[in-house]
Structure 1
């Protein structure tokens, strides 16, 4: 890499890491925030849900907006909104102000993440340099999600939950000052019209589907809210496909969705994010509710998982160079599935902690290999003018996966152990074990699907030694 590319990479990775931290930094602090601002127990989950709904629902739209109006412009606008909304969240004096700040943070995330990813892919030519950049990006994104839990516990215990917001402000300021000098503007030569009907239907459909899964984890699959939101979301997404077939300048061209690498690459990525982020949730329940660890000790335990994801991200480009992207997806998924399945027999004694730490480290390595393989697969073989669309889809996959994983596994735990928060440890452990088994089965299914339906993209075949 040139010196300019290294600085560009550091800047973009720093921004993406901060975005990932925001997904989880408040999870440990939710009870403290609730007591400080007067949230009822029933409404406490909206602190996380308000952010996740906006981030997942608007990512595809903002990815396309970045293609049309300039990726650097959208990236910088999103960073500015993120800095201001984080300051507002830290200064919040009532639930309404905090929730408004969280929605704004989610919208900023939906703009920054796909625009930043498109800037990353267009700053590096397709090949080893881009693979390395995507590997480091994936590692920091996953590590950021894990680090958020650790940082949230530390800041809440030592300072205040408000610092979970304030920590974003100086980072956003640095990015806003440095980015104009380091990152060139990137946009297509011709600017087509924005597909408004497509934007409305896909955004509404994603919001409804994500809300339905969130409601299922909270109220159950047969609740009226879930039974209403899920078919509404499915109908809107079906309408989106119909709109795109006839639109003169579609948000997502139908030919794009016919690419096997796009469809199955994103499917593998969705499974990778659904399973690993929800495993963090399951192990949080296990460590706190079954083994009796504090929130801070639980967060620190996930540092091992974070180390595994960093190792997997650093190795990702090298592994792809040796065995190809398809094989990397399969191997990464297989390693993650075996590591996750080894957690099914966890018991009530603290002697099981060693197995948990070892399995989460190995699973983190495997998960990150799969994520790097997914990002390379989903963005390779495309012209620069479609990189915003490709990274927008990939980022939407990532954020929808992060959002859906926890309510899905929560629903499994609740179905087995019941909804009472005071359930006996052995009863809760039964629900956790079942959810871990389902989690491992999902990962294994993703690896099998990659083996059956994916081909290695052109230029991503393994490098073979010569005689």
Structure 2
């Protein structure tokens, strides 16, 4: 991450800037999964959920505070200065990690499956291109289908490789367990539900209510400010109620938020807007701790880092799929309705009529999202039960994970 930051600050052109950002992303993308794995391996079961919830809350808070931090400093420092600033800010944490590694017992010697990693990256890249490719005709549809086929082929080759590899990147054996598979499916739904809200809230503000882009961003922040609160609350509830009810509550709140958005009037008041977005933000944040804890509790200590990374990747894939569905189904439905209105009314169609079909399109999206998230609440019943917090716990280092399934 630090090397990528320096490369970005020194990049002389857009091509090298993009490559440097990729290097930075490789390092930055590993931070949260490794943090989850540390919490999963060095804390007893009764304390893991809260620790994971705190990590998820900080991750959510960074999404909220990062743009504000950058906006405040970009004027005096310039955009290159922001990336140089990463280096002195991160060096103390780098030293702290070095000390932690010295105190952390090794979990055995493992070889990195580079070929498996390349196949996985190729599959995800092809899927991303395929789902986000602009379709403006039959030829584009076939190009999209080709990219998706390549993604499926790469994924199949990756799975076959993992079954034969002596040290697989992904614990295929663990994925067959119901609690692990259901956790992955829930995080996919969470990713799709989250990105739908993050796109629709500012979009509705701009195109339906006629507000400026700044107001759209502020409305989105009204939801995001509650996400870290939900992360901490989710960890606390998971320790006391267990993973299943906490995750189920999360998806029920998301379904309730989508239904409330479906029932929004043409211009919701401040109280209605804040109330709905509070429910949505808490719903998004609540599920991190129970889902990740359920998954990490049911894999070996040596597999927790890669499993946490896979779970994060599944969430990102859900976001990609959600974005693609919004682009193809949401905008596609609007285009169909707008074409039908133009065929019937021609240039005499009023702006209010186009606003009405916009609202109908958003309502369809919210109904579908509410149904999917409500089913997610049912799927949460297949997670691990979780264990209540044990009284009298003391912070003893668990050298080997202590609870190998």
TM (norm. structure 1) is 0.70
Distance in 1 separating the partners of 2:50 and 2:122? 35
Counterpart of 2:224 (choices 306, 311, 323) is: 306
Superposed, 1:62-211 pairs within 5 Å as 79-88=1-10, 94-128=13-47, 130-148=48-66, 168-182=86-100, 184=102, 186=104, 188-211=106-129
Report the CA distance shift for 1:161/1:401 in structure 2 as closer, same or farther (over 3 A). farther
What whole-Å deviation, never above 9, does each CA across 1:240-266 have from its counterpart, x for those lacking one? 222222223322233121122211111
Task: Tell me: CA distance 1:331–1:461, structure 2 relative to 1, closer, same or farther (3 Å).
Answer: farther
CA contact 1:149–1:299 (8 Å) conserved in 2: no
Indicate how the Cα distance of structure 1 residues 305 and 256 shifts in structure 2: closer, same or farther if over 3 A, else same: same
Structure 2 CA distance for aligned equivalents of residues 337 and 161 of structure 1: 39
Unmatched segments (≥5 aa) in structure 1: 1-78
Partner of 1:414: 331
Distance 1:243 1:165, change over 3 A: same
- Matched with 1:392 is 309
Alignment pair present for 1:276 and 2:194 = yes
5+ unaligned residues in a row in structure 2: which ranges? 339-350, 392-405
Alignment of 1:311-390 (within 5 A): 311-349=229-267, 351-390=268-307
Distance (Å, rounded) in 1 between the aligned partners of 2:293 and 2:167: 26
Higher relative contact order (CA 8 A, sep 6+): 2
CA contact (8 A) 2:35 2:55 kept: no
Residues 98-142 of structure 1 show CA distances to partners (whole Å, capped at 9, x for unaligned) of: 3223322322233333223323333433322x2111111122223
Does residue 1:285 correspond to 2:215, yes or no?
A: no
Deviation at 1:199, TM superposition (A): 2.3
Partners of 2:75 and 2:260 in 1: how far apart? 32
* SS of residue matched to 1:223: helix
CA distance in 2 between partners of 1:170 and 1:85 (Å):
15
1:320 Cα deviation from its structure 2 partner: 1.3
Q: Distance in 2 between matches of 1:337 and 1:374?
A: 17
Structure 1: distance between partners of 2:159 and 2:192? 24
User: 8 Å contact 2:249–2:283 — kept in the other structure?
Assistant: yes
CA distance in 2, matches of 1:159, 1:392: 33
In structure 2, C-alpha distance between the alignment counterparts of 1:415 and 1:221, rounded to whole Å = 17
CA RMSD of aligned residues (A): 3.3
Q: Which residue of the partner structure matches residue 28 of structure 1? A: none
1:428 and 2:345 matched: no
CA distance in 1, matches of 2:194, 2:139: 22
Residue of structure 2 in register with 1:49 after alignment: none
Structure 2 distance, partners of 1:154, 1:407, is: 33
Structure of larger gyration radius: 2
How far apart in 1 are the matches of 2:390 and 2:145?
Answer: 47
Cα distance in 2 for partners of 1:219, 1:140 equals: 43
Partners of 1:320 and 1:282 in 2: CA distance: 30
CA gap of 1:179–1:454, structure 2 versus 1, over 3 A, is: closer
Please give the residue correspondences for 1:243-258 in structure 2 after superposition, counting only pairs within 5 Å.
243-258=161-176
Contact kept? 2:119, 2:154, Cα under 8 Å = yes
Q: Tell me the secondary structure at the aligned position of residue 371 of structure 2.
A: helix
- In 2, the alpha carbon distance for the partners of 1:202 and 1:284 equals 33
Distance in 1 between the 2:38 and 2:173 partners? 23
Q: Provide the TM-score with structure 2 as the length reference.
A: 0.80
Secondary structure, aligned partner of 1:302: helix
Assess if the C-alpha contact under 8 Å between 1:135 and 1:316 holds in 2.
yes
Q: CA deviation at 1:448?
A: 1.8
**SS state at 1:251 partner:** coil
The total of aligned residue pairs comes to 376
Moved more, 268-277 or 329-338: 268-277
Deviations 1:378-433 (A, max 9, x none): 1114332222222222222233334443333233321122399xx95444333333
The structural deviation recorded for 1:218 is: 9.2
